[in-house]
Structure 1
């Protein structure tokens, strides 16, 4: 910028300061602040907090999961939702897609303090009423604003629960068909996801659910997806046309014939299939999740969470 001779040094400093202010927060082309992508217009990022509920075990022992185990689980979650090449989450199915959703461990606590997104709670030092195995019980130990965090509780169940209790999630109430088949929280209920610590992340346990797909499945419910069989009706099932219709629960790792003689999609994350074969969200399922992120107030608020 060319300045006239009459401009003094103080004026120059003020002009330079104003230029600095106006340049902050703009794209390289000067078009203004980078917008938060709308669901469907690019990759969106959702903040998660992992509440590790344990019974006083040492760090990395039993339910007091190691940081490495937790980081690997979040990595698996992103491999699956992004259909990443070279991972178990990749597929080349014509109806499969990249969900363009990524999950980030929270960087800020509700009080504005820095965090790694892992919140450890020694349940042996707490005295809370027994509300059963549900989100409301574990929310008594820790529950962060559900419009700023996806609350995930790893639950300290006994090892005898392996392969019997995997996880559970609340779902969003929207105008999408089939919403009534989700676990919609009431006005005083906690909103989030529970995962049995035994099935959180990768391990060599003697169970089909050992590659971290329990959280992938439950996150699907949290974002509005139904099981592929829905309510068990061949006509409607999960309201996604590109998942082959099935009217019964889908287990195992071997496909079988569902409705109208069509083979079920055994690898779909919204089945009860073995972790080793799960590798696909279909395009219709992805559209359904993005509809939820756009239209459900609580889920939409996550996109601009200060925790990111």
Structure 2
């Protein structure tokens, strides 16, 4: 996930912004018309050649003030978020007469990628602890009082795959397309969760449900191996990087999406927030003209794992909508819906 401070680097991603937003006709005329980008010559070449953008993603950073940590295709701009919202609205139109609810369970395939000397190995027990953490979080059992929200989502471990490869483990981002093409299992309803070494500042990243139809094999969540419960990552080893990234996989934006500007994160009951929270700040209010203090305890923020306890009812509804639109039902219908929403 990208912090607000990284929004100062929006121009660095302009090639991807223009590419991604153009898919839905939502490129604003005021966007900068720059050429070289931080995403490198390849991104500009894709644009010039008219090739499709890489799927969008959101990431979680241990320090949102450090630039250059997010993989190519990361950090959603306001225009890209609006494009995803437009896809959701279009996909929901034919479902208006149907009851929209989360599935009874989400099958999970965990792909453990480790070095050949065993570095990064994640035990079966820790994998099961991660699944339990997801179920506790999405069941609303980390929160207390009126903030308790059971989203209705439940996760079931289907399989653990193990790969020992030094290159894949240490340079996952450089090879992520190949890795996921080789390992991905199931359809849009299956959560593929990958663990590897993502470097010092990047905790994890995720695809969005709107991108499944265009690139099914790249769908899924990636987390640093030491962020799983008991992984030893200081401040971030309770398993909530996966909680956070699965939220993106189910369609949620960061609570600080769009800062203090409407429409924020497109969820009515999460207060506006100017920038990502770090640590466990108390009484933080970065949008003083807006209702409510910053949602520091929300799973879609950047707070330390120990501070994250809640989803809101609005977020639960939004995840269920994304599931119905892009992950539930007949995969062939989902493909057609996704194509129609482009």
Please confirm whether the aligned pair reaches a TM-score higher than 0.5, indicating the same fold: yes
Correspondence for 1:83 among 125, 131, 140: 140
Deviation at 1:123, TM superposition (A): 1.8
2:190 to 126, 149, 153: 149
Counterpart residue number, 2:54: none
Question: In 1, are the aligned partners of 2:299 and 2:308 still within 8 Å (CA)?
Answer: yes
Cα deviation, residue 299, structure 1: 4.6
Q: Secondary structure at the match of 2:229?
A: coil
Displacement after TM superposition at 1:184 (Å): 7.3
| Alpha-carbon distance change, 288 to 142 in structure 1, aligned in 2, over 3 angstroms | same
Q: 5+ unaligned residues in a row in structure 2: which ranges?
A: 1-98, 332-342
Structure 2 vs 1, CA of residues 211 and 127 (structure 1 numbering), >3 Å: closer, same or farther? closer
Compute the TM-score of the two structures, normalised by the length of structure 2. 0.61
**Greater share of helix residues, 1 or 2?**
2
Range that drifts further, 67-76 or 196-205 = 196-205
Q: How does 1:27-176 map to 2 (within 5 A)?
A: 39-40=100-101, 44-58=104-118, 62-84=119-141, 89-94=142-147, 96-106=148-158, 117-124=159-166, 132-133=173-174, 135-157=176-198, 161-162=199-200, 164-173=201-210
Q: Which moved more, 1:72-81 or 1:239-248?
A: 239-248
C-alpha RMSD over aligned residues: 2.8
Partners of 1:197 and 1:252 lie apart in 2 by 21
**What secondary structure does 1:48 align onto?**
strand
TM-score, normalization: structure 1?
A: 0.67
Give the length in aligned residue pairs.
Answer: 230
* Structure 1 residues 173-192: aligned runs within 5 Å: 173=210, 186-187=214-215, 190-192=218-220
Q: Of residues 201, 218, 224 in structure 1, which corresponds to 2:229?
A: 201
- Residues 193-248 of structure 1: CA distance to partner in whole angstroms, max 9, x if unpaired? 1011011223444x211111000000000000000111324321101111111122
Distance 1:134 1:227 in 2: 26
Q: Given the alignment of the two structures, is residue 239 of structure 1 paired with residue 291 of structure 2, yes or no?
A: no
2:149 and 2:184 map into 1 onto residues whose CA distance is 33
Confirm whether residue 290 of structure 1 aligns to residue 320 of structure 2.
Answer: yes
Structure 1 residues 134 and 289, CA gap change in structure 2 (3 angstroms): farther
